[in-house]
Amino acid sequence: MCGIIGYIGKRNAVPVLLYGLQRLEYRGYDSAGIAVIEKTDKKIIVEKQVGKIKDLQEHLWNKKIEGHIGLGHTRWATHGEPTIENAHPHTSQKGTISIVHNGIIENYLELKKELLDKGYRFKSETDTEVIAHLFEDIYTGDLLDTAFEVAKKLKGAYAIGVISTYEPDRIVGIKKGSPLIIGLGKDENFIASDIPAVLEYTKDFIALDDGEIALVKRDSVEIFTTDGKKVEKNPFHVTWDVSVAEKAGYKHFMQKEIHEQPRTIGDTITGFSSSKTKNMVDTVKNADRLYIIACGTSYHAALVGKFWIEKFAKIPVEVDYASEYRYRDRIIGKNTVVLGISQSGETADTRFALLDAKKEGAKTISLVNVVGSSLSRETDHVLYTYCGPEIGVAATKTFTAQLVSLLLFALELGMKKGTISFRDYEYIHNQLLQIPSKVENILSKDDQIKEIAHRYMSASDFLFLGRNINYPIALEGALKLKEISYIHAEGYPAGEMKHGPIALIDEKMPVVCVAPKDRFYEKIFSNIQEVKARKGKVLSVATEGDSQIKQISDEVIYIPQTIDPLYPILTVIPLQMLSYHIATLLGKDVDQPRNLAKTVTVE
């Protein structure tokens, strides 16, 4: 889950690399570094620093490094602790080749032993350093040819950028499993893990597919398969502006992204097209089984989607963690469909599980936020959310947009199968169109929610409860709190509370109850009474006008009324805000919580 950037062109490379690393810091922030081929003596200058990009910037403040080609890297540690020695870029023993790498080299111990036997010395504990030494050991006199040979020896998932003093007019990029894109400029070109890294300089991109190697020069880009065949690829144009990835006056990206949800929900409703999904719906309508696989927050969206698809389309749905489904003995027939949800479209477990299912004969669908991502190109069909870049590690706006896409997909399926009437379809759709303004209403309660956060920020444990379609929202609320505040939190179906978690409840335990006025209201009301009988502190998310719940709750956050199926899109908003305020009051870095990265491209 590291971030890579490479530059070749007319500018001084250092500012370009540092700017790109700032844009990629959500991908990793244990350490960072740059490697630049100095323009006068053509030596590789490598500078690295433990910590965040600002630490590297301060380290470089008085250093004058001039060069027009270079690589940058921001690290999320997998092999070896965050140290300067383990930070990227890594350089070959002679100092002639420097590389950056995102991913995991599975056979690095075997390769390392071979290189040690040949006399190579290793300075780091990483799996990456073997790549630099391999390039030096195999070097054929041509960096591209050498890349073909190195790629044959590597096992695992990786995106690699390479520069060399032997050929200081080119960058080589190698992709297998981890994301790598090419940015196309005028008299300059880029490689990067993600579009925001170079969006300041270009809006035209090529996405590399697995098993492709790019030769990037100042005025040209050539792409090859690993066996040397040239590939012609069409660039795609990005329409959104770099300002979308700015904080726009908010203190944190997460805060900004929470407050963007009225727009992103509206954009996703507008962007969902029945005509574009026609073939997809035709594929799914005859499915005898639909699997939805995902990780983290996307998994919670999948759980909500299961309720909607089974309700409106009457298709049996199984939801599974992608990391588990990937290694399960899958039962796949000719009418099996697998839907994978991934904000980035690059999540390793989801991606490889979908590819395995596709090989076994399943029809595949991806729900992603990033146009041109690996999943969007590799699955049979694709659904998009329309959120723009989400920089905060903890997903917020992409979660509600995923919900909207899944709901609209379920309704289209129901219409196609005849399991929902056009009248009901129109009614639900009209209610959905009112959701953005209702989210605005909840966001206006920011001060009230911050006050509640202040009263409960010292709690060491939280319990989140919900029923039926709001049970996944309890899971999501608990995940958000522990992700960014580091407070232990657990989400549970409220009806299961008495089968274990009730033993934990006392006067020190805040219990957050997702309790809108839907058809399960009486059931969760009874669960809240059980909590109060054991002196638990109750924080309820309830529907406006519900005075009854106020009598048995210590705190109530009211949300606007809507129809039962749409409540999850509203009930999650106060939980995002509560987690955000608790974490910021505790002084945590909500945009870059410890040990987490935005896009998990390794197992």
Residue 1 pLDDT more than 80? Answer: no
Query: What string of DSSP letters covers 70-83?
Result: EEEEEE--SSS-S-
Percent above pLDDT 90 for the chain: 62
Task: Give 482's contacts (C-beta < 8 A, 6+ positions apart).
Answer: 488, 489
Task: Determine the pLDDT at residue 457.
Answer: 94
**Cβ-Cβ contacts under 8 Å for 24 (sequence gap 6 or more):** 3, 4, 5, 74, 192, 193, 194, 196, 197
pLDDT in tens, 249-299: 788 889 999 999 998 999 899 888 765 777 888 888 888 889 999 999 999
Instruction: Report yes or no: 88 and 3 within 8 Å, Cβ to Cβ.
Output: no
pTM of the predicted structure, to 2 decimals: 0.75
Band of pLDDT at residue 599, cut at 50, 70 and 90: low
Which residues are known to be catalytic?
Answer: 2, 598
How much is the average pLDDT of 569-597? Answer: 90
What pLDDT does 495 receive?
A: 79
Joined together, the tokens standing for residue 324 give: 């588990």
* pLDDT tens figures, 157-166: 899 999 999 9
How far apart CA 202 and CA 212 sit, in angstroms, is 22
> Is the pLDDT confidence value at 27 over 90?
no
User: Range with the lowest mean pLDDT among 56-65, 224-233, 528-537, 552-561?
Assistant: 528-537
pLDDT in tens, 355-384: 999 999 999 999 998 877 888 888 999 999
- Cα–Cα distance, 109 to 488 (Å, whole number): 37
pLDDT at 398 (0 to 100): 95
How much is the average pLDDT of 561-571? 96
Q: What is the mean pLDDT of residues 342-348?
A: 86
Confidence category of residue 543, pLDDT binned at 50, 70, 90: very high
Can you give the pLDDT at residue 373?
A: 82
* Contact present, 400 and 569 (Cβ < 8 Å): yes
| Confidence (pLDDT) at 602 | 47
Q: Model confidence over 173-210: pLDDT tens digits?
A: 999 888 899 999 999 999 998 888 898 899 999 989 88
User: Mean pLDDT throughout 571-585?
Assistant: 96
Q: Which residue, among 189, 241, 246, 177, has the nearest Cα to 214 in the 3D structure?
A: 189
Residue 78: the pLDDT is 66
Mind listing the domains of the chain with CATH numbers? 3-244 (3.60.20.10), 251-433 (3.40.50.10490), 443-590 (3.40.50.10490)
- For residue 441, pLDDT over 90 is answered with yes
- The mean per-residue pLDDT over the stretch 132-145 comes to 94
- What is the rounded distance in angstroms from the CA atom of residue 407 to the CA atom of residue 385? 12
pLDDT digit string, tens, across residues 236-245: 888 766 556 5
Instruction: Please state the rounded mean pLDDT for residues 57-85.
Output: 85
- The mean pLDDT of the chain is 89
pLDDT at residue number 274:
64
In Å, what is the CA distance from 317 to each residue of 111, 303, 308, 354, 487?
A: 44, 9, 10, 16, 33
**Nearest alpha-carbon partner for 216 in 236, 175, 188, 177:** 188
297: left (phi over 0), alpha (psi -120 to 50) or beta: alpha
pLDDT at 28: 67
The pLDDT of residue 603 is above 60: no
Distance between CA atoms of residues 356 and 291, nearest Å: 13
